[in-house]
Structure 1
Amino acid sequence: MGNKRVLFVDDDEESLSSLRRMLIKMPDQWEFKFADNGESALEILKHKEYDVIVADMRMPKMDGAQLLGEVLHKYPGMVRIILSGHSNQEMIMNSIGPCHLFLAKPCRSEELINTIQRTCALRDLLGNESLQKLIAKLDVIPSVPHIYTKLKTELKSPNSSLRRISQIIATDIGLSTKILQLVNSAFFGLPRHVSTVEQAVNLLGIDIITTLVLSTKIFSIFKTHQQKKFSIEWLNGHNLIVARYAKAIAQAQNCNKKMQEHAFLAGMLHDVGKLILYTIYSEQYDKVIDFAEESELQLHESELKHFKSTHAAIGAYLLGLWGLSNTVVEALAYHHNPENILNLEFSLLTAVHTADALYYELHSNSLRTKISTINYEYIDGLGLLTKVDLWRELCRDISRTGEKNE
């Protein structure tokens, strides 16, 4: 894996000195460089490749958002973090696109170090360097056109409500991920991690959401490329059903409400990597789907042959960069191979893995690839083998009734 290189940029010498002291105990495999302005940072990047850049927001000549915009254009594979103690709403809106994460000053050393280590671990999970660059360059996940239009209509309505807005956003992968990325950044300085769209919408409020959706470029509509196989509408519907299944399974295990909500979110986002892959490789991804069907492979196996990575790892990588919780990212990363995680208890991963497998079992007419199956050995290792029939019936009931509520 080699050394990890991190570039810090801040015009305040005291801040740079503080960062140096903070990082002095880091292992030798970490290499740090410090620059006092954006121009110097770009000059450094001309001569050596770095994994992460951490920039202050407010600097003379070139502020943090402008610098990260340049980095996004010239060095798209880098993880881009803003570290700042002051910023106004306009600066925040400008940095949403080029910035993966926003950390507030003063930042505890543990938080900064953990954030940097986590982002680099996510890069290692993905493995494929060319994919790293393409995915890190993404600043938006496209939305289903009719859902995006429905949201804009609701926001423009004189009778719009937070409840209806959150219900609309929660049914779309792209809208959900971006709203959660934003609300969990240090832009808003919230003391806790927000894990549901409803919470996020209530905290942001109608005015901010309207500004984001109507006045900035952090959302986009999915563009059809006359594809034969991939359907964002099908994928969104699949994710929504898996989300409901996962929540029902968590509820059946007497999990608390928070974990049930996390299960719904993880289920809704579990296949976001497919949408990311199609956004990057539209024509090629249709061929990957064809290859899976012709070779009787599961789709993630076909992806691995063509991209040297899978939609599971790719989705986990981007949403991990965007600051979603570790448990949700873990559920995304391993929902096809849960046995790779050493966990002896029921978890979000258990709920999402089982829900996804049961979807294909119960919707055989909707197959896009070979049927996904429950890993019974993994379930048995958790001591939950006797629960599978109950979970299956719960999911079957949800499908029978066409339940519309979470």
Structure 2
Amino acid sequence: MEIQDLLSQTSKLPNVPDVVRELVVALNNPNANYSDISKKVSQDQTLSLKILRLVNSAHFGLSRKVSSIDEATVMLGMQRLKTLVIASGFAGSVKEVEGLDIKQFWSESFRVATLARWFAEKTDKVDPDIAFTAGIIHNIGRLLLHLAQPNRAKAIQTLIEESNVGRTEAEMERLGFTSQDAGKALLDMWNFPSELGESIKQHKKPLAHTDAQPLSAILNLACFVNASVREKRDEESVKESFPVDVALLAGVAPDVINELGVALTLESGLESLAE
């Protein structure tokens, strides 16, 4: 099987709003016209309503109710708002996915995004907004696989459960490529910044690549903490197995280990976007 076989099924690709794609493409552009993008968000009723519902939730604790995207921009700032738009746009890109708990999928993606931003804020090598976006879409290749080839996705999951092999090995055996490869190909097709695609391709084993990206290391750290939360590991065991060499690639000081207790309790506050 070839990755192109997945991408050619255009009717099954995630339906990400154009304005969200514009925002992602603009992440690396300091001259991007965000006021124009804000207007486009306002014109997308479904997207703007989801964002306003979230902005007015207890998580943000604003002093007054916000009734428009313009108000939300003033209250939160464009930096904060644009990441909410990206999160909302991707979470709403599919409604149901065979063989995948979509609510859990996005909930974990949001937590990885929140953790990626947290780690990125501790280094000058990675922009926190780009890290957040990468966290949201780090697993989009797996989503693509379930949308385009649900039976193959199910077979991979069965192989993992019955043979006790890792997902990467199972995907290579059943597909000949990994979901990270598929994710990079999809982002390239959407003309997203190459940094995003490369980091998603590398993030499982960032140190194995000669052109290793600091962003891929940030994603790896975020996924490590997310897995620790999912597995309900205690703080001491997380500290003992923390990948210090990956942190160094990311530009994060090794003493971040002392703050892992905070990372383990971080919440995205974005879960409602997946409903």
- Equivalent residue number for residue 300 of structure 1: 168
1:321 CA drift (Å):
1.3
Matching of residue 357 in structure 1 with residue 224 in structure 2: yes
Q: C-alpha offsets along residues 310-365 of structure 1, whole Å, 9 cap, x if unaligned?
A: 11110111111101111111111111121233357x72111111101221122116
Q: SS in structure 2 opposite 1:389? A: helix
Whichever structure has more strand as a proportion of its residues is 1
Instruction: Return the TM-score normalized by structure 1.
Output: 0.46
Instruction: Report the Cα distance in structure 1 between the residues aligned to 2:47 and 2:110, rounded to whole angstroms.
Output: 24
Matching of residue 250 in structure 1 with residue 86 in structure 2: no
- Equivalent residue number for residue 104 of structure 2: 234
1:381 CA drift (Å):
5.9
Asked whether the 8 Å contact 2:12–2:148 carries over to 1, the reply is no
Matching of residue 286 in structure 1 with residue 122 in structure 2: no
Q: SS in structure 2 opposite 1:180? A: helix
Runs of 5+ in structure 2 lacking a partner? 49-91, 234-240
Q: Judging changes above 3 Å, is the alpha-carbon distance between structure 1 residues 133 and 236 closer, same or farther for their aligned structure 2 residues?
A: same
Instruction: Report the Cα distance in structure 2 between the residues aligned to 1:211 and 1:381, rounded to whole angstroms.
Output: 40
- Equivalent residue number for residue 21 of structure 2: 181
Match 1:317 to one of 155, 171, 185: 185
Asked whether the 8 Å contact 2:247–2:253 carries over to 1, the reply is yes
Asked whether the 8 Å contact 1:252–1:391 carries over to 2, the reply is no
Query: What is the letter of the counterpart of residue 239 of structure 1?
Result: S
Q: C-alpha offsets along residues 80-102 of structure 1, whole Å, 9 cap, x if unaligned?
A: xxxxxxxxxxxxxxxxxxxxxxx
Structure possessing the higher relative contact order (Cα contacts under 8 Å, 6 or more residues apart)? 2
Instruction: Report the Cα distance in structure 2 between the residues aligned to 1:240 and 1:140, rounded to whole angstroms.
Output: 22
Matching of residue 332 in structure 1 with residue 184 in structure 2: no
Whichever structure has more helix as a proportion of its residues is 2
Instruction: Return the TM-score normalized by structure 2.
Output: 0.65
Runs of 5+ in structure 1 lacking a partner? 1-127, 143-173, 214-218, 367-372
1:239 CA drift (Å):
0.5
Query: What is the letter of the counterpart of residue 285 of structure 1?
Result: A
- Equivalent residue number for residue 4 of structure 2: 132
Q: Which has the larger radius of gyration?
A: 1
Asked whether the 8 Å contact 2:119–2:252 carries over to 1, the reply is no
Q: Judging changes above 3 Å, is the alpha-carbon distance between structure 1 residues 302 and 387 closer, same or farther for their aligned structure 2 residues?
A: farther
Instruction: Report the Cα distance in structure 2 between the residues aligned to 1:309 and 1:296, rounded to whole angstroms.
Output: 19
1:290 CA drift (Å):
2.0
Q: C-alpha offsets along residues 264-285 of structure 1, whole Å, 9 cap, x if unaligned?
A: 0000000000110001111221
Q: Judging changes above 3 Å, is the alpha-carbon distance between structure 1 residues 387 and 298 closer, same or farther for their aligned structure 2 residues?
A: farther
Instruction: Report the Cα distance in structure 1 between the residues aligned to 2:190 and 2:112, rounded to whole angstroms.
Output: 22
Query: What is the letter of the counterpart of residue 267 of structure 1?
Result: G
- Equivalent residue number for residue 269 of structure 2: 404
Q: Judging changes above 3 Å, is the alpha-carbon distance between structure 1 residues 199 and 340 closer, same or farther for their aligned structure 2 residues?
A: farther
Work out the percentage of aligned pairs sharing the same amino acid: 17
- Equivalent residue number for residue 206 of structure 1: 42
1:295 CA drift (Å):
2.1
RMSD after superposition = 3.7
1:140 CA drift (Å):
5.9
Q: C-alpha offsets along residues 64-123 of structure 1, whole Å, 9 cap, x if unaligned?
A: xxxxxxxxxxxxxxxxxxxxxxxxxxxxxxxxxxxxxxxxxxxxxxxxxxxxxxxxxxxx
Instruction: Report the Cα distance in structure 2 between the residues aligned to 1:262 and 1:403, rounded to whole angstroms.
Output: 16
Q: C-alpha offsets along residues 173-207 of structure 1, whole Å, 9 cap, x if unaligned?
A: x547x54335577xxxx89648x9x8885152422
* Matched residues, number: 219
